[in-house]
Amino acid sequence: MEMALDFHTAKALLEWQIELGADEAIGEAPVDRYAAPKVEPAVAAAAAAPAPQQAAAAPVMAAPQGPDPVAQARALAQAARTLDELREALAGFDHCDLKKGARNLVFADGNPRARVMVIGEAPGRDEDMQGKPFVGRAGQLLDRMFAAIGLDRASPDTESALYITNVLPWRPPQNRDPKPEEVAMMLPFLERHVELADPDVLVLMGNHSCQALLGRKGITRLRGHWAEALGKPALPMFHPAYLLRNPHAKREAWHDLLMLQARLRGAA
């Protein structure tokens, strides 16, 4: 015989069920969930979602106004028939904002007939003041490094000479890293520079010159291995500024200099 529950007991049992999470009314007959047709979650979500509104049209971006600076740089560079003409073309190129904040154009230094062409990243304060690449503390170390294998930027002899330039010809503010768009604008001039100087070997000093000419960074992995850039054998090396901060890496730099020397002697 079923016992009737008084109001307070029934209310207490109902509240207890709600506390357990049974907060929905269900039917009296059991439902076999295994026998119910399976509905894919994506289909169920699509069925439950409201009808989609018509997609708004994507905003139309206005085409950039004015000439393409990279195309202009390429046209100016290719029109230059000599290094002097290339320097004049570079000096007259006004699309790179670095020019506005720099004191001098830093084009190159050394013997343009040298077998070895060193390509650095960008001028620093001393280079900007003097208009020559690698003349500060890093440049002094660079001169000592190459002198150790018989190369000198002041040498008139092509066999022992050195020719030096940078990816960027103007100093970035506060010596910050070059921006990709700046490198893109200057790359046609650099490519023509290498073509006109026509060295036997390129030495890529530091990450940014490797990124510009090899499309890769990570100088600690790249150094010590020959690569090819602009159709020339290219040897990535630590930048002298890095060696000033990390003297322990001079051993690897000496190894790379010996690799360069062997290449020039035809032994590699």
Q: What is each CA distance from 205 to 101, 200, 202, 219, in whole angstroms?
A: 24, 16, 9, 9
In 3D space, the residue among 113, 136, 132 whose CA is nearest the CA of residue 239 turns out to be: 136
Q: How far is CA 159 from CA 9, 96, 196, in A?
A: 107, 35, 18
pLDDT band at 48 (very low <50, low <70, confident <90, very high): low
pLDDT at 52: 46
The domains of the chain are located at 69-264
Mean pLDDT over 62-79 rounds to 83
- pLDDT value at 260 more than 80: yes
* Residue 186 burial (10 A CB sphere; 0-12, 13-18, 19+): buried
How confident is the model over 162-200, as pLDDT tens digits? 999 999 999 999 989 999 999 999 999 999 999 999 999
Q: Which residues pair with 110 in a beta bridge?
A: 163
Q: What is the mean pLDDT of residues 82-94?
A: 97
Helix, strand, coil shares of the chain as percentages rounded to 5? 45, 10, 45
Cβ atoms within 10 Å of 127's Cβ, excluding its own: 26
Task: Kindly state the helix (H) or strand (E) to which residue 166 belongs, with its residue range.
Answer: strand 163-166
Query: What's the pLDDT at 159?
Result: 95
Counting every residue written for the chain, the total comes to 268
CATH topology of domain 69-264: Uracil-DNA Glycosylase, subunit E (3.40.470)
Q: Is the pLDDT assigned to residue 152 strictly greater than 60?
A: yes
Q: What does 215-246 look like in DSSP terms, one character per residue?
A: S---HHHHTTS-EEETTEEEEEE--HHHHHH-
User: What's the pLDDT at 9?
Assistant: 72
State the pLDDT at residue 67. 79
- The pLDDT-based confidence of 63 (bands split at 50, 70, 90) is very low
Parallel, antiparallel, or unpaired for β 201-205 and 232-237? parallel
Which pTM value belongs to this model?
0.74
Would you say the C-alpha torsion 264, 266, 267, 268 has a positive or negative sign?
positive
Across the beta sheet with 116-120, what order do the strands follow?
109-110, 163-166, 116-120, 201-205, 232-237, 227-229
What is the predicted pLDDT for the residue at 58?
A: 46
Scored b (16 or more CB within 10 A) or e, 8-23 reads: eeeeeeeeeeeeeeee
Q: Provide the CA 263 distance to its chain's centre, in angstroms.
A: 29
pLDDT digits (tens, 9 = 90+) for 89-103: 999 999 999 999 999
- Asked which of 50-64, 100-114, 131-145 is least confident by mean pLDDT, the reply is 50-64
Specify the pLDDT at position 222. Answer: 97
> What residue type is assigned to position 75 of the chain?
A
